[in-house]
Amino acid sequence: MEFKKNKPKPSKVEEIGNLQKINSIDELSARFEQKLSTKPSEISSEAILSNKRNNMSGQSETEKEEKKNYTVSLSKKVISELEEFLEDFGEFGETKSSFIQNAIIESIEKRKFLMKEKLLNKIKKLESK
Protein backbone atom coordinates (compact mmCIF):
# COMPACT_ATOMS: atom_id res chain seq x y z
CA MET A 1 0.00 0.00 0.00
CA GLU A 2 1.43 3.38 -1.02
CA PHE A 3 0.65 6.65 0.62
CA LYS A 4 0.66 9.90 -1.31
CA LYS A 5 2.01 12.96 0.35
CA ASN A 6 -0.32 15.90 0.12
CA LYS A 7 1.36 19.22 -0.38
CA PRO A 8 0.39 21.56 2.42
CA LYS A 9 -1.50 24.66 1.41
CA PRO A 10 0.57 27.82 1.67
CA SER A 11 0.07 29.47 5.00
CA LYS A 12 -0.76 33.13 5.52
CA VAL A 13 2.88 33.76 6.45
CA GLU A 14 4.08 32.29 3.14
CA GLU A 15 1.50 34.32 1.23
CA ILE A 16 2.62 37.52 2.98
CA GLY A 17 6.26 36.63 2.25
CA ASN A 18 5.43 36.14 -1.41
CA LEU A 19 3.62 39.50 -1.53
CA GLN A 20 6.63 41.18 0.08
CA LYS A 21 8.92 39.61 -2.53
CA ILE A 22 6.66 40.84 -5.32
CA ASN A 23 6.62 44.35 -3.83
CA SER A 24 10.41 44.41 -3.52
CA ILE A 25 10.74 43.26 -7.13
CA ASP A 26 8.39 46.03 -8.22
CA GLU A 27 10.42 48.60 -6.27
CA LEU A 28 13.70 47.36 -7.75
CA SER A 29 12.34 47.41 -11.29
CA ALA A 30 11.02 50.97 -10.78
CA ARG A 31 14.44 52.10 -9.54
CA PHE A 32 16.12 50.33 -12.46
CA GLU A 33 13.82 52.05 -14.96
CA GLN A 34 14.50 55.38 -13.26
CA LYS A 35 18.25 54.85 -13.55
CA LEU A 36 17.90 53.96 -17.23
CA SER A 37 15.93 57.13 -17.90
CA THR A 38 18.52 59.34 -16.17
CA LYS A 39 20.74 61.25 -18.59
CA PRO A 40 24.51 60.86 -18.15
CA SER A 41 24.88 64.60 -17.54
CA GLU A 42 22.48 64.35 -14.58
CA ILE A 43 24.58 61.72 -12.78
CA SER A 44 27.21 63.19 -10.49
CA SER A 45 30.46 61.45 -9.73
CA GLU A 46 29.70 61.85 -6.01
CA ALA A 47 26.52 59.83 -6.42
CA ILE A 48 28.43 57.03 -8.12
CA LEU A 49 31.14 57.00 -5.46
CA SER A 50 28.63 57.02 -2.59
CA ASN A 51 26.69 54.20 -4.26
CA LYS A 52 29.93 52.28 -4.65
CA ARG A 53 30.80 52.82 -0.97
CA ASN A 54 27.36 51.62 0.10
CA ASN A 55 27.67 48.47 -1.99
CA MET A 56 31.15 47.75 -0.67
CA SER A 57 30.10 48.17 2.94
CA GLY A 58 27.51 45.43 2.71
CA GLN A 59 24.23 44.35 1.31
CA SER A 60 20.76 45.40 2.34
CA GLU A 61 18.68 43.11 4.50
CA THR A 62 16.59 41.88 1.56
CA GLU A 63 19.70 40.97 -0.43
CA LYS A 64 21.10 39.00 2.50
CA GLU A 65 17.90 37.00 2.78
CA GLU A 66 17.47 36.35 -0.94
CA LYS A 67 20.32 34.10 -1.97
CA LYS A 68 20.28 31.42 -4.61
CA ASN A 69 22.84 28.74 -5.42
CA TYR A 70 24.55 28.93 -8.81
CA THR A 71 27.05 26.65 -10.43
CA VAL A 72 30.15 28.54 -11.50
CA SER A 73 33.24 26.92 -12.95
CA LEU A 74 36.54 28.23 -11.62
CA SER A 75 39.98 26.80 -12.09
CA LYS A 76 41.53 24.80 -9.26
CA LYS A 77 44.41 27.28 -9.14
CA VAL A 78 42.07 30.23 -8.54
CA ILE A 79 40.18 28.39 -5.80
CA SER A 80 43.39 27.34 -4.03
CA GLU A 81 44.70 30.94 -4.21
CA LEU A 82 41.39 32.18 -2.83
CA GLU A 83 41.48 29.67 0.04
CA GLU A 84 45.08 30.62 0.89
CA PHE A 85 44.20 34.32 0.79
CA LEU A 86 41.17 33.87 3.04
CA GLU A 87 43.20 31.81 5.52
CA ASP A 88 45.92 34.48 5.69
CA PHE A 89 44.04 37.74 5.23
CA GLY A 90 40.31 37.00 5.29
CA GLU A 91 38.06 38.81 7.70
CA PHE A 92 36.32 36.85 10.44
CA GLY A 93 33.45 34.87 8.94
CA GLU A 94 34.40 35.68 5.35
CA THR A 95 33.60 32.78 3.05
CA LYS A 96 34.52 32.02 -0.53
CA SER A 97 30.97 32.90 -1.55
CA SER A 98 30.98 36.27 0.20
CA PHE A 99 34.43 37.09 -1.21
CA ILE A 100 33.37 36.21 -4.76
CA GLN A 101 30.09 38.10 -4.40
CA ASN A 102 31.88 41.24 -3.16
CA ALA A 103 34.43 40.93 -5.97
CA ILE A 104 31.65 40.73 -8.57
CA ILE A 105 29.85 43.74 -7.08
CA GLU A 106 33.06 45.80 -7.04
CA SER A 107 33.89 44.76 -10.61
CA ILE A 108 30.44 45.77 -11.86
CA GLU A 109 30.60 49.14 -10.09
CA LYS A 110 34.11 49.79 -11.46
CA ARG A 111 33.04 48.95 -15.01
CA LYS A 112 29.96 51.17 -14.72
CA PHE A 113 32.11 54.04 -13.47
CA LEU A 114 34.71 53.56 -16.23
CA MET A 115 32.00 53.33 -18.89
CA LYS A 116 30.41 56.53 -17.62
CA GLU A 117 33.75 58.34 -17.71
CA LYS A 118 34.43 57.09 -21.23
CA LEU A 119 30.99 58.24 -22.42
CA LEU A 120 31.36 61.64 -20.73
CA ASN A 121 34.73 62.11 -22.43
CA LYS A 122 33.17 61.27 -25.80
CA ILE A 123 30.36 63.75 -25.15
CA LYS A 124 32.90 66.46 -24.30
CA LYS A 125 34.81 65.74 -27.50
CA LEU A 126 31.62 65.96 -29.57
CA GLU A 127 30.56 69.20 -27.89
CA SER A 128 33.96 70.80 -28.47
CA LYS A 129 33.82 70.15 -32.24
Rounded mean pLDDT of 25-51?
64
In the chain, DSSP finds a helix count (H) and a strand count (E) of: 5, 0
pTM for this one? 0.46
Give the Å distances, CA to CA, from 33 to 29, 30, 72, 75, 109. 6, 5, 29, 36, 18
Rounded to 5°, angle at Cα 85 from 107 and 88:
140
Whether 24 contacts 62, CB under 8 Å = yes
Q: Which helix (DSSP H) or strand (DSSP E) does residue 94 occupy? A: none
The one-letter amino acid code at 21 reads K
Rounded mean pLDDT of 17-27?
78
Averaged pLDDT score across all residues of the chain: 78
Helices 96-128 and 45-57, axial angle in degrees (round to 10): 180
Span 52-107, pLDDT tens digits: 555 555 555 556 668 888 898 999 999 999 999 999 888 888 899 999 999 999 99
